Amino acid sequence: MAAIELTLENVDKEVLNEKGIVIVDFWATWCGPCKILLPIFESLSSEIEEVKICQVNVDEQTELVEQFDVMTVPTLMIFKDGKVVSTSVGKKTKADILEMLKNI
């Protein structure tokens, strides 16, 4: 399953009203570390079916950047039942992300 591209129109449905765990990756096309994370998320989306993976292009979705107070990319936010339970800034390995999920 590919990552869901979040917009102001679908963020409530896909994240804030979602029961369960959602990872949101705030990224930009010009961000080198963001590009490194892309294949990791593609891999995770096929391995962990119980976690929804979403992405926000910060250049296209400035309202969401403001709403979630994102200051830099990449920023990962993990939501559980619509609430932020973990935030991480900077490049992460697949093991780092799995560890974050394990601690939720």
Digit-coded pLDDT (tens) for 10-45: 999 999 999 999 999 999 999 999 999 989 988 888
DSSP classification of residue 16 = I
**How does DSSP assign 17-85, residue by residue?**
T-SSEEEEEEE-TT-HHHHHHHHHHHHHHHH-TTEEEEEEETTT-HHHHHHTT--SSSEEEEEETTEEE
pLDDT at 59: 97
Q: What is the residue extent of each domain of the chain? A: 4-102
pLDDT at 42: 84
pLDDT at 41: 86
- Residue 20 gets the label, from left (phi > 0), alpha (psi -120 to 50) or beta, of left
pLDDT at 49: 83
Catalytic position from the list 7, 28, 31, 87: 31
Residue 54: active-site member: no
Residue 34: active-site member: yes
User: Do 58 and 6 contact (CB within 8 A), yes or no?
Assistant: no
4-102, which class in CATH?
alpha beta
pLDDT at 9: 97
Task: Specify the 3-state DSSP secondary structure of 5.
Answer: strand
Residue-wise pLDDT tens digits, 43-98 = 888 888 889 999 999 999 999 999 999 999 999 999 999 999 999 999 999 999 99
Is the whole-model pTM more than 0.75? yes
Q: Give the whole-angstrom CA distance, residue 72 versus residue 92.
A: 14
User: Do 64 and 6 contact (CB within 8 A), yes or no?
Assistant: yes
Q: Which band of pLDDT confidence, cut at 50, 70 and 90, is reported for residue 1? A: low
Catalytic position from the list 11, 15, 24, 34: 34
